Amino acid sequence: MAELGPVHPTEDAVAALGPLPLTATTVADDSLWGTWLRRNAVHTLPHCVRQLHASGAVDNLRRVTGEVDGEFQNMWFADSDVYKTLEAAAWQLVHTPEDLELRSFLDTTAALLVKAQGEDGYLNSYFTVAKPEKRWQELHWSHELYCAGHLIQAAVAAARAGVGAEIVTVARRFADLIVERFADVNAVDGHPEIETALVELYRVTGHRPYLDLAARFVDLRGHGLLNPDRFGPVYLQDHVPVRQAEAVAGHAVRQLYLLAGVVDVAVETHDDELLAAANRLWEDAFGSKTYLTGAHGSRHRDEAFGDPYELPADRAYAETCAAIASFQWNWRMLLATGDVRHADEMERVLHNAIAGSIAADGEHFFYSNPLHLRTGHDGSHEDAPSQRLPWYSCACCPPNLARLMASLPGYAVTTDHSGLQIQLYTAGEIETTVDGHAVRISLRTDYPWDGRVEITVTTDAPLTLALRIPGWCRTEDVRLDGAAVDPVGGYVRLRRDWARGFTLTLDLPMPARVVRPHPRIDAVRGCVALARGPLVYCVEQADLPDGVTLEDVRIDPSTVMVNRTSVVTLAVAGSVRSADTELYPPAVDETAEPITLTALPYFLWGNRKPGPMRVWIPLS
């Protein structure tokens, strides 16, 4: 149990692939992933702990116990930020059990939860302190089950990491109360999350009522049970049952969390119809409602998906939590179906939307992640700042990043009855067993800066090793030990006797690519974007000469060159048109001056000084 990661289907689940234990993959310290993991452990996670105390989130729980006086502080669902940080701490202690400060936070917070929990098992600081008479009465906005879900996921992490046994006890008491309260009641929470949490608690405990209630919540969604409030039922995914839904809609994070739970329920209950619905909604989401960076959410007003091809670059909401939810949903879809496209989307959103939401220092974050920050943008409001902020009044994103990064090694490799599949490339070591035989794999690579991956495999029995060929690759250019490959379903599959150890070299060519938008994406018509490997690139004002405004720049995409340093940038010829003095001048030939532009990976933007940035650039 102590080695399992965040998602672990039971042996009875209908799934094509299984995850490896969290400890099976050791990421090389000098790799990109290694820098992310170290930054998370040294900076992001301790920062989250400090902010939980500074913001009053921990004190809210102390108000329940009588240790602190005064009114409730922060968002009414601030308990969830505590729980996500607890989950991150549990996963991190798997890697660094010697971290005494982190263990102290986990243990003292667990003890606080024990004291704050009601005699009946209820635990929610806001509805205990501020609105005790409204418990379970305002589910359309209360987030009571959402908070409970994050508590349960923290407990799952604690159980699998072998720490914080009190958290497991608290979460099970609350989960049992929820089963008792809702097993025969037609009600759902306005913010999905409890569904996937209950399934995972079932996977930890084997207690079937948790799975049954998760399935019930999924099937009750879309029957008009929630107060639609000001945004309407679509915002809450309460407008159509999941099994009948044809399109993703409404609040992006809620939709994606719901779909993660849908897949969990489907594989554990052998529900083909439900999994088919998830596939159908995946086609809609990734066919016409996903940003180039893998982000989701086109509208600020309701943090929601838009119409098909409604993907404005500058008004992109693209919430960090939606990117993380997409990663989680695609992981579950990958395990359920074995379809390579889900690994491709995991790679895209991880290296762009997710990685770009956190600063190089690990202590500043974007809530929304636009693909264009305009010159003159008013970044004074935290909903659309010009630079990453250390915390937010709605602080869902930073601890969500912390828990994902702490568990990241668990998403690199999958397994099935015949062998292993390398899904996400990073330098490191993999040690596991397949069919009772010990397997050791060493990966040496500078991915994603370089597409060469050297793989050494040692095991005492035949093993099928599958190497994912990313969707951004031209398959005809890929080489394995210098020879052309013939991928099947997006993978090169090798079955060999590896007993003496065998090293092979996979070359994934990474030329710079020019990407055009679908012609129906009106917001970026006449523009192109630059990419290389899994990385999307952007141009920042900081790299332009004095006096040049980013919106006046055009590019000639036929001239892209790769600059190989520790961070691979792109150079491209372009031009700067004469600045117009009229808002709507006559359509005449423009005068332009040549310029050489530097494009850097999108995930690194905003680490110098606040300023304009754009991914989609008009053509010369």
Which SS3 state, helix, strand or coil, does residue 304 take?
A: strand
Taking residue 458's Cβ as centre, other Cβ atoms within 10 Å add up to 16
Burial class (CB in 10 A: 0-12, 13-18, 19+), 462: middle
Token digits for 47? Answer: 């920062």
Catalytic residue among 396, 397, 473, 527: 396
Known catalytic membership, residue 396: yes
| Annotated catalytic residue 538 | no
Q: Which of 157, 146, 141, 155 is nearest to 124 (CA)?
A: 146
- The answer to whether the CB of 579 falls within 8 A of the CB of 549 is yes
331: which residues sit within 8 A by CB, 6+ positions away? Answer: 7, 342, 346, 411
Q: Which two tokens stand for residue 25?
A: 């993959």
Residue type, 330: N
437 DSSP β-pair partners:
434
Query: CA distances (Å), 431 to each of 26, 137, 413, 437, in order?
Result: 8, 50, 11, 11
H helix count then E strand count, the chain: 16, 22
* Overall size of the chain counted in residues: 620
Distances (CA, A) of 255 to 207, 221, 244, 285, 383: 26, 11, 14, 10, 20
Which of the residues 195, 303, 363, 540 is marked catalytic? 303
Closest CA to 86 of 18, 159, 27: 159
**Under a CB-based contact definition with an 8 Å cutoff, are residues 602 and 539 in contact?**
no
Distance between CA atoms of residues 323 and 388, nearest Å: 16
- Enumerate the active-site residues: 303, 396
